[in-house]
Chain A
Amino acid sequence: MTPPRLEIQGLKKHFPLKAGLFRRDTVKAVDGVSFSIAPGETFALVGESGCGKTTIAKLVLLLERPSAGCIRFDGQDLATATAAQVKDYRRQAQAVFQDPYASLNPRLRVRTIVAEPILVHQRWEKRALRRRVEELLGIVGLPPSAADQYPHEFSGGQRQRIAIARALAPNPRFLVLDEPISALDVSIRAQVLNLLSDIQEQFQLTYLIIAHDLALVEHISTRVGVMYLGTLVEVGPTEQVFTHPSHPYTQALLAAVPRPDPDFRPRVDAIHGEIGSALNLPRGCKFHPRCPKAFAPCRVDPPAPRVVAGGHAAACYLVE
């Protein structure tokens, strides 16, 4: 049986805050998250601000060290990996971030930017490298002449394509996409989304997408995980989760998303109050203060994930 491309178990990330001379508060940005991504899948993590999805992206990319839990890539535990294995992981896992204006070093030519992930691992002959860069630019729909230009000469959508070309450069197998299109103009988003789908198919990539746009997530992902205040409240195949949301938070989110349909009115009563703070987590289920369906056990102990159907689980006492 092939191991999942990425597997996360019990992942935790706590940030200590110095609140006073002796008091130490912790922000529990990620508080025990587990999921796995099969090869070729597109797994989406959704949630609102403070839910921890961006922190998970950073943990997966080894930009932060977890406080607890483990991350396994192709079966290899990254915490116990040797330096060489980590370096190899860095070749196989690449990323595209949200802001196309901050993702490219303004002082470097596109050629250097795109080639950088290749050169970290191998020395290439100049002409071969140039050909590879032009090939990559062609894949993302940019002309070869773009290689000699600087980032500021390109629009947001084009810069995001350059970022994608760079991510493809070392022949990765896994891509982490953190809000890849939310900073782009509406009419450009479709272009870039279609590009991402195309290259996934062409290069057999596995995607972890962080997003807040539920319509986008439904469109592009095969499985989805909904996060709230550092916990995964619901996970499962996208179609399942979207047609039969089992956790009240997922239901609230879906009801609150505005749609381009004047007859649809987002429901405001599905959820009360403000998003909680990761500093002062409520006892029991983290969502219960805002949950319209909260009852006695919710305030005592956080519910463990319960199976709704094959592969679909929700952490809620209401699920039998």
Chain B
Amino acid sequence: MNNAAPALPPRGFILRTLRAGRARGFPWVPALLLALVVLAALGGGAVTPHDPNGLNLGVAFRPPFWQAKGSWVYPLGTDNLGRDILSRIIAGARISLIVAFYAIVFSGGVGALIGMIAGYFGRAVDAFIMRVVDIQMSIPALALALVFAAVLPPGLGTVIVVIVVTYWTWYARIIRSEILSLKERDYVALAKVAGCGTATIFLRHLLPNILNTLLVLASLQVGQVIIFEASLSFLGLGIQTPDVSWGLMLADARAYITNAWWAITMPGFAIMLTCLSSNLVGDWLRDTLDPRRRQL
């Protein structure tokens, strides 16, 4: 017989997932990397070997430690203003994670709610919401960002707003189609038969059953959001000095890429590795949480 419904309990869920992880090819290295990034973000200024904004023209353009003129004092080298790249990367982690966290929570929350409403009520409500989503998605994200940047003061808040406005549509679409099939489930019909109101059905029957999807979506979005933030900052629409962000580092280093390849490559690696790690962990989460996952 086929199990139509997913089979994981919410409580003890974390323990079960971890225990399952050991058996199912848990991505240790990516997870460790992500943990490092989180630690860096939490530590902030306290864990940087040097002041991320400390100018020291005397040590400008030092290469990374494995090159001829490099040293362990500045392990990943210095940029044009003599700032230690490693320290700036660590400091930038904080911004990246703050942006990722708030952006995902808000875009996920707003997107999921709108998606649930569209999927559950259907017909006119659904049509209206989906047209809004279509229109929204046809506007290039960066164009939108420019508009917002013109109106709002540049900085962390604006970046988060732009990302939320851009990304909620993904959640809305995917959650809406989940809800379309979920609402036909027998237990939802039986909840109506029992007399449950719409709010109860949303909170008790629909929301817990889309949490899996939301979790997977969120983890896969981490990489996307970080890159988006980097692009915005690269264009000067996001983070501004003296705040440090990986995107800003890319922007600053562009001018002298031939002199100091490490100044642009190191933050690029940081972005790439974080993105890759979160994707791999997200993939693993999706496979683990899939109710029809193979038990073999």
Give A residues with C-beta under 8 Å from B.
Answer: 58, 61-63, 87, 90-91, 93-95, 97-99, 101-108, 112, 116-117, 120-121, 150-152, 156, 163, 166, 170, 183
- Asked if A97 meets B4 with Cβ closer than 8 Å, knowing A107-B10, A117-B195, the reply is no
A106–B204 touching, CB < 8 Å: no
The CA of A112 and the CA of B5, in the complex, are separated in Å by 17
- Would you give 22 A-B contacts (Cβ < 8 Å), ordered by A? A61-B189, A61-B193, A63-B192, A90-B194, A98-B186, A101-B2, A101-B4, A102-B4, A103-B186, A103-B187, A105-B204, A106-B209, A107-B9, A112-B204, A116-B194, A117-B194, A120-B194, A120-B195, A120-B196, A152-B8, A152-B9, A166-B194
Q: Which of B1-50 contact A (CB under 8 A)?
A: 1-10
CA distance A259 to B9 in the complex (A): 42
Contact A103 B190 (CB under 8 A): yes
Residues of A within 8 A of B122 (CB): none
Please pick, from B5, B195, B200, the residue contacting A102 in the complex, using a CB distance under 8 A: B5
Give the CA-CA distance A87 to B193 in the complex, in Å: 10
Residue B54 is within 8 A (CB to CB) of chain A in the complex: no
Give chain B nearest CB distance to A175 CB in angstroms.
Answer: 11
Q: Taking chain A's interface residues, is the majority helix, strand, or loop, or is none over half, making it mixed? A: loop
- CB-based A-B contact count at 8 angstroms: 85
Return the 9 tightest CB-CB contacts between A and B, nearest first: A90-B195, A152-B7, A117-B194, A107-B208, A120-B195, A102-B186, A102-B4, A106-B5, A105-B187
> Which residues of B59-108 are within 8 A (CB) of A?
none
The interface residues of chain A lying within 8 Å CB-to-CB of B2 are 101
Taking each of B5, B8, B191, which has the highest tally of chain A beta carbons within 10 Å of its own beta carbon?
B5
Contacts of B254 in A (CB 8 A): none
B126 to chain A, nearest CB (A): 15
Contact B194 A156 (CB under 8 A): no
Q: Which one of B5, B189, B192 contacts A104 once the chains associate, using CB atoms below 8 Å?
A: B5
Residues of A within 8 A of B209 (CB): 105-107
Assess whether A116 is in contact with B189, with CB atoms less than 8 Å apart: no
Interface contact A91-B195, CB-CB below 8 Å: yes
Contacts of B292 in A (CB 8 A): none
A94-B4 in contact (CB<8A): no
Q: Which of A94, A99, A108, A151 contacts B193 (CB 8 A)?
A: A94
A110 to B: closest C-beta gap in Å: 11
CB-CB contacts below 8 Å: B115-144 with A: none
Residue of A at shortest CB range from B12? A150
Cα separation A95 to B3 with both chains bound (whole Å): 21
In the bound complex, residues from chain B placing their C-beta under 8 Å from that of A101 are 1-5
Distance A152 CA – B10 CA, assembled complex (angstroms)? 12
Q: Are A102 and B187 in contact (CB-based, < 8 A)?
A: yes
In angstroms, how far is the closest chain A Cβ from the Cβ of B170? 24
Residue of B nearest to A105 (CB): B187
In the assembled complex, the CB of B120 is this many whole angstroms from the nearest CB of chain A, namely 14
CA distance A151 to B6 in the complex (A): 10
B4 x A90 contact (CB < 8 A): no
Asked if B286 is an interface residue, CB under 8 A from chain A, the answer is no
A101 to B194, CA, bound (A): 18
Nearest CB in chain B to that of A90: its residue: B195
Mask: chain B, 185-215; 1 = CB below 8 Å from A; 0 = not: 1110111111110001000110011000000
Provide the bound-state CA to CA distance between A63 and B201, in Å: 14
Chain B 131-168, CB-CB to A under 8 Å as 1, else 0, gives 00000000000000000000000000000000000000
Most buried by A among B1, B7, B10, B193: B193
Chain B residue at minimum C-beta to C-beta distance from A159:
B5
Closest B residue to A183 using CB positions:
B1
Q: Which residues of chain B are within 8 angstroms of A87 by Cβ–Cβ distance?
A: 195
Which of B185, B190, B204 is the one whose CB lies under 8 Å from A166?
A: B190
Q: Knowing that A107-B10, A112-B204 are A-B contacts, what are 18 other residue pairs whose CB atoms are under 8 Å apart, sorted by A's residue number?
A: A61-B193, A63-B192, A87-B195, A90-B194, A93-B193, A95-B189, A101-B4, A102-B186, A105-B5, A106-B209, A107-B208, A116-B191, A116-B204, A120-B196, A152-B3, A152-B8, A156-B1, A183-B1
Complex interface: chain A residues within 8 A of B200 (CB): 120
A116→B190 CA distance, assembly (Å)? 10
Cβ distance A61 to chain B, nearest Cβ, rounded Å: 5
Given A150-B9, A151-B5, A105 contacting B205 (CB threshold 8 A): yes
Cβ–Cβ contact B187 & A104, under 8 A: yes
B184 and chain A: residue at smallest CB distance: A102
A199 nearest CB across to chain B (Å): 18
- The answer for the CA separation of A87 and B187 in the assembled complex, in Å, is 19
Central interface residue in A87, A90, A183, by most chain B CB within 10 Å: A90
